[in-house]
A and B are shown apart, each in its own frame.
Chain A
Amino acid sequence: MKLPSRDLLVKRLTRVSAYTILYIVALIIILPVIWLFVSSIKKDIEIYSWPIHFWPTVPQWSNYVAIFTMTPFVKVAWRTFLLGISTAAISAITSAMAGYAFARYQDVKGSKRLFQVIIVMLIVPGIVFLIPQFIVFARLHLTNTFWPWYLWAFSANAFYIFLYRQFFLGFPKELEEAAEIDGCGPFRIFWQILLPNSKPVIATVLIFAFNSVWGDYLTPSIYLSSNVTLLAVKMATAFVNPQGKTIFAVSLAATVIYVLPLVIVFFFAQKYILKGLITSGLKG
């Protein structure tokens, strides 16, 4: 009689503590986002005031107008957007090609070896290559241009190749075999059968690739001078008004606008992304 009730108690306790942890972590996750937004509609003197102003006395929506009138935000954002979209599109195609090769041509000699290179590249962070590459690009006078970005996109990406490969491995072979018997060449099979059926993984790769340009601080700060730089670098330092004074609240408002497209796209695509990442997992 005693044992079941004790078990029940333990079960309830674990349950309660699990929910407590869930909610506390959720609060810590969301708090900075909320605080950023609240601070973005304050006046600068309210941000710097002591004791603290938790809420703005009068919401300063004009901060959001000032982003467009007082700072070069739009110009730099548009430049970054175009580069992000175009490189994402290129990389989504070349990575799909490589992923397809690794998924369907495992019998080819060298295939296994080269896939091990992919795994190594997955683990080693890009910073190891970034600086040696910089020296080469600088000598070729390609710094301060977007050529490096296009070349990186063209040469595909280990992580995206890995995602595509996992996806193609789970794709039924019958369709391709039927097409092959009908005399369809491998590139047409890839282009007309595989790609149109890979929308979830293409969407995931496009989002990751776009984010990697939109959010990247390190590469533009090394490769580009300030007149052609990308948005992350502009966002890192505070905006200044025409008189040369820091306008911190406007910078915070700009950060809200900066992350908003990423958050919106994520919420629409999260089902694909999380499912894709969770199911593809580690099954190498």
Chain B
Amino acid sequence: MAEVSISTPLPKAHASKRARYRTTTFYMFLLPWLLGLIFLTIIPLLLGFLTSLTNYDGLNLENIKFVGTGNYARAFTRDSEMVNFSFWRTVIWGALNLPLWLGLSFLMALILNQEVKGKGFFRTLYYLPSVMPAVAAVQMWKIILDKNNGLLNALLSLYQPGTAIGFLSTYALQGMTLIAVWSGLGAGMVIFLAGLQNIPEELVEAAKIDGANGWQIFRHITFPLMTPVIFFQLVVGLIGSFQQLTLPLVLGVVGLSQSQASVPPRSIYLYMIHTYQQIFVNQRYGYGIALLWLLTIGVVALTLLLFWSQKFWVYQGDYAQGGES
């Protein structure tokens, strides 16, 4: 039915006129986004790159000086100590946060894809933290994880009087991981649920008839078919982890009065925090943008490495999901 009007033989001139009309319409619909892509994405990125070759301080264009690759070199020479430190904090943060988030949201999706009582209720509840703004999430966890007045230390003190663990100071990385997993669990779970629901039922049924048990079905059907989704989540999670700025930034200020500006604890002094400090505290715009570009190069390299690793562990057979439609 749908194809009739298009597939009826039309004069050639008419067909190309129609194609041109469709092209114009397509770009008309896309115009706002295209303008944004050019003026709010591509041009700022180019100007940003130019800025990274100068000593721009955010204020004066009169004193601006071309410094070539000096800003990039600075990251490996004069500032290498802090850059290295913050880089490795970021790597550790990713190594802690990513597997926990991936594992837990996959596990919850697996459970909630079964016939369990209160399925809808649990799904809704688990997604709830995803609508909580970062500032509110940190506020909530602050009064639980605080060293002296937090609920967790108070509960621990019932067994071990005088417990005062700095979940947000000495162990801020662990505390931040808890907050991040709490916030992200629902969003991760939803993506995994979507993947699980795309697994063809006849495969599972056939395996059951052949006498496969639950573990065998998971090991040989569910997990392999889910590897494309895990891959996708891994890519998104990895890029997100490396660009994490809001959580440590907010952890540094929440609960304090406005007069006390604060740098986050050392254990969560992530790469983006260092970049942020360079730009907005030290007014080194050129250097800050150079740091951003270095991070982008690193993340792109890691992402490409992940894409390359696909052929060793990601299922790409007939039942693969996530392909072009």
Hey, which bits of chain A sit against chain B, CB under 8 A? 7, 10-11, 14, 18-19, 21-22, 25-26, 28-33, 35-36, 39, 47-52, 54, 94-95, 97-98, 100-101, 105, 107-109, 111, 114, 117, 121, 123-125, 127-129, 131-133, 135-136, 138, 151-152, 154-156, 161, 169, 173-174, 177, 180-181, 186-187, 190, 211, 214-218, 221-222, 226, 232, 235-238, 240, 246, 248, 251-252, 255, 258-259, 262-263, 266-267, 270, 273-274, 277-284
Contacts and interface: CB of A to CB of B under 8 A. Distances in A.
B135 A236 contact: yes
B239 A32 contact: no
B47 A135 contact: yes
A119 to B, nearest CB: 11
Nearest to B321: A282
B115 to A, nearest CB: 10
Interface string B104-145: 100110011010100000111111110111111101110110
Q: How large is the interface on B (under 10, 10 to 19, 20 to 34, 35 or more residues)?
A: 35 or more
A274 B190 contact: yes
A30 B133 contact: no
Given A35-B143, A131-B289, A235-B139, A114 B126 contact: no
Interface of B: 1-2, 5, 19, 22-23, 25-30, 32-33, 35-37, 39-41, 43-45, 47-48, 51, 56, 58, 104, 107-108, 111-112, 114, 116, 122-129, 131-137, 139-141, 143-144, 148-149, 151, 154, 157, 182, 185, 190-191, 193-195, 197-198, 213-214, 228-229, 232, 235-236, 239-240, 243, 245-246, 249-250, 253-258, 272, 275, 279-280, 285, 288-289, 292, 296, 321-325
Contacts of B107: 21
Contact of A211 (B126, B131, B257, B272): B131
11 contacts: A28-B182, A29-B128, A97-B33, A101-B27, A111-B26, A211-B133, A215-B133, A236-B135, A281-B191, A282-B232, A283-B322
Contacts of B249: 217-218, 221
A98 B30 contact: yes
